[in-house]
A and B are shown apart, each in its own frame.
Chain A
Amino acid sequence: MKRLRGFIIKEFYHIFRDYRTMVILFGLPVVQVLLFGFVLTNEVKDANIAVLDKSKDAETMNIINKLTSSGYFMLNAVLESEDEVEGVFQEGKVKQVVIFEENFAKTLKNEGRARIQLLADASDPNTAQTLVNYTTAVVNTYLAEKAKSEGKQLLIDVVPKMLYNPAMEASYMFVPGVIAIVLMLISSMITSISIAREKELGTMEVLLVSPLRAGQIIIGKVVPYVFLSFLIAATILLVGRFVFGVPINGPLGLLLAESLLFILLALSLGILVSTVSKTQQTAMLISLFALLLPTILLSGLIFPIENMPLLLQYISHAIPAKYFVIILKNIMIKGTGLESVWFETIVLGGITLFFILLSVLNFKKRLE
């Protein structure tokens, strides 16, 4: 135990001495969150929309005019039936279709309440959300003006429907994704590099001939990074919460426990990488291309999994980050507990166990 403690202390020295890496480790996630946050929630201008007006009355004409003159939208197509909706989206002509129900003006007048349905292309979730928000705002402004001139309180329900990405939960879905990326980066890449560095320097030779067991060397390497990763995950959550108002609706304890599980998984991957790489350079390249890129591209963070070709969808099942992102979204945004994420948790746990075993077995107690 004393040996292990000495090892861990040494590892912390390495981490704190290398202040440049520390700055990158804590700076990178914050910068990433801020970048994603601000870039993706950018203003939308002249977005192409289509209209399916089943009523074709004065009210619908007015609202369409308001929409097109707002500066946010360009009317690209006027549809005649619902069958055409799929087509215009597929061609990528429009980002949103505005559907007025039949007898719109009549219903509004008689019942004081009518309905507009919005279909948005949510494969770009942030834009979709922004378009829906703008449309709602334009409709509400129109209603307010009408109320002023006619002295009548009317109501229009704007019902958005997100296509191609129905589970989309507003623009802050990037926060779980960034957490997944950063944890993968730190835990796997940094650990594998730090082990490869010992091989390069020749200190691994001395560690191996010491009475330390393979397990002890691995634990000693891993523990400091568990702490570090945990701190960084917390930093991202705080930035997300207080800069972008990302909610944490579910139980915080569960959220942290799931994060810990994912950290362990990434660390075991990192150790596995280090067992096959002799230099820091190899370790870095392997973790970058074999671990980090798939995490970014295939976890559903940037490209929704539903929109991927079938083959990639299958591959995405093998990307641990995918499950972690699902877990995070459920807990943070939907506010659900373990009952909704038990399956993903078991998958993550299983993968972790598998890789820990594999890396301990693979860790050589001799050089060769």
Chain B
Amino acid sequence: MESNQQIIAKGIFKSYKDVKALEDISFSIPRGELFGFIGPDGAGKTTLFRILVTLLLQDKGEINLFGLDSRRDFRKVRLMTGYMPGRFSLYQDLSVEENLTFFATIFGTTIKENYHLIRDIYSQIEPFKKRPAGKLSGGMKQKLALSCALIHKPELLVLDEPTTGVDAVSRKEFWEMLGNLKKLGITIIVSTPYMDEASLCDRVALIQDGKIMQTDTPANIVSSYSAPLYAIRSEKMHKLINDLRTFPETASAYTFGQYIHLTLTPTAKAEDVVGFLSEKNHTGLEINTISPNIEDCFMNLMVK
């Protein structure tokens, strides 16, 4: 693929004093993709994004964004990028409309000119356009911040944890909006600590402790999980997990909602577990083979 049609990062390193924030980060993202960085707080997502939008300089490595070098051409990169930092960076004392007008003006455009881009999102908060941004709910702030990041018609949208601290409903709506923006051909790079959001991206990178553990489509990541995975429950869940941890053939056991996800050592079989648990007087036992989700994969990679 031509270099001006993708974003390529090669061997990015970044340290703060003696803390390594990023170690050898490499990836490539074709134009028009919805790409997710999935990982917990402190994994290095924010540092990476700040380097992407030229706010920070990497210690080592290169980033090329659609043919532009992140160091040399940083002004051009800034012009074509819409960036939404982790905290919704809005002026709390300015109204919804004033915030949007301001961000339009400093990018040399007007709300009117690019209204079509933000219509679906902005129309939901437009009834409150005279309200100060500080008095909006989390979901509404998120929509306003996205509108502000979009108002100059960027080719690339960089969203740092846009759904953190936002309730499940607003999160769903937000991902629907991102889906619509993708249809307009905008490349979107988004980070999130919520593993379940991975399946909404075209491709994801699982990131932990400043390193990318795996990059692929959500489906491929899931299918690369080789060991058989069991979902298991009984009437006494807390006892169940404690018992499973004492079972010598247990490779991993993690609670997932009402179930415990269990993997076994290669030689063991599901029947062995059932036998073991029956001895421990578990009733209402239920055990099924399931396909893993991204969170299973993430934890699996973490312990490797």
Query: Which residues of A does B touch, CB under 8 Å?
Result: 2-3, 5-7, 9-10, 13-14, 17-18, 201-203, 205-212, 366-368
With an 8 A cutoff between CB atoms, is B92 at the interface? Answer: yes
Q: Are B57 and A211 in contact, CB atoms less than 8 angstroms apart?
A: no
Say yes or no: B89 contacts A205, CB within 8 Å: yes
Taking the complex as formed, is B81 at the interface, i.e. its CB lies under 8 A from any CB of chain A? yes
**A10 in contact with B56 (CB, 8 Å):** no
Assess whether B229 is interfacial by the CB under 8 Å rule.
no
Cβ of A209 and Cβ of B53 under 8 Å apart? Answer: yes
Please pick, from A13, A14, A205, A212, the residue contacting B55 in the complex, using a CB distance under 8 A: A205
Q: In the bound complex, do residue A206 and residue B108 qualify as a contact, i.e. CB atoms below 8 Å apart? A: no
Are A17 and B108 closer than 8 Å at their CB atoms? no
Within the assembled complex, what's the spacing in Å between the Cα atoms of A58 and B148?
Answer: 90
Expressed in whole angstroms, the Cα–Cα distance for A3 and B101 within the complex equals: 11
Whole-angstrom distance between the alpha carbons of A210 and B85 in the complex? 13
* In-complex Cβ contact of B106 among A207, A367, A368 (8 A): A207
- Distance from B91 Cβ to chain A, minimum over Cβ atoms (Å): 6
Assuming the contacts A18-B93, A202-B85, A202-B89, asked whether A366 and B57 have C-beta atoms less than 8 A apart, the reply is: yes
Q: B78 touching A209 by the CB < 8 A rule?
A: yes
How far, in angstroms, from A18 to B92 measured CA to CA in the complex?
Answer: 11
Extra 14 A-B pairs, beta carbons < 8 Å, given A2-B105, A206-B89, A366-B55: A3-B107, A3-B108, A6-B105, A10-B98, A13-B91, A14-B93, A14-B94, A203-B91, A205-B83, A205-B85, A206-B103, A209-B78, A211-B75, A367-B56
B residues bordering A, Cβ < 8 Å? 50, 53-57, 75, 78-79, 81, 83, 85-94, 98, 101-108, 132, 148-149
Tell me the bound Cα distance from A211 to B149 in angstroms: 13
CB within 8 A of A2: which of B53, B54, B86, B108?
B108
Q: Is the CB of B105 within 8 A of A206?
A: no
A10 → B minimal CB distance (Å)? 5
A6 and B106 form a contact (CB under 8 A): yes
Which of these, B54, B90, B92, B101, contacts A209 with CB under 8 Å? Answer: B54
**Most chain A beta-carbon neighbours within 10 Å: one of B50, B55, B81, B87:** B55
Asked if B102 contacts A10 (CB within 8 A), the reply is yes
Distance between A216 CB and nearest chain B CB, rounded to angstroms:
8
B108 touches A209 (CB 8 A): no
The reply to whether A203 and B55 contact each other, CB–CB distance below 8 Å, is: no
A366 with B86, Cβ < 8 A, contacts A209-B81, A211-B78 known: no
**Complex interface: chain A residues within 8 A of B87 (CB):** 201-202
Determine the distance from Cα of A9 to Cα of B98 in the docked complex, in whole angstroms.
10
Residue in A10, A14, A202, A203 whose CB lies within 8 Å of B86: A202
Which residues of chain B are within 8 angstroms of A13 by Cβ–Cβ distance? 91, 93-94, 98
B93 touches A17 (CB 8 A): yes
Task: Please provide the 4 A-B residue pairs with the shortest distance between their CB atoms, ordered closest to farther.
Answer: A6-B105, A202-B89, A202-B87, A17-B93
Q: Quick check: B107 and A10 within 8 Å, CB to CB?
A: no
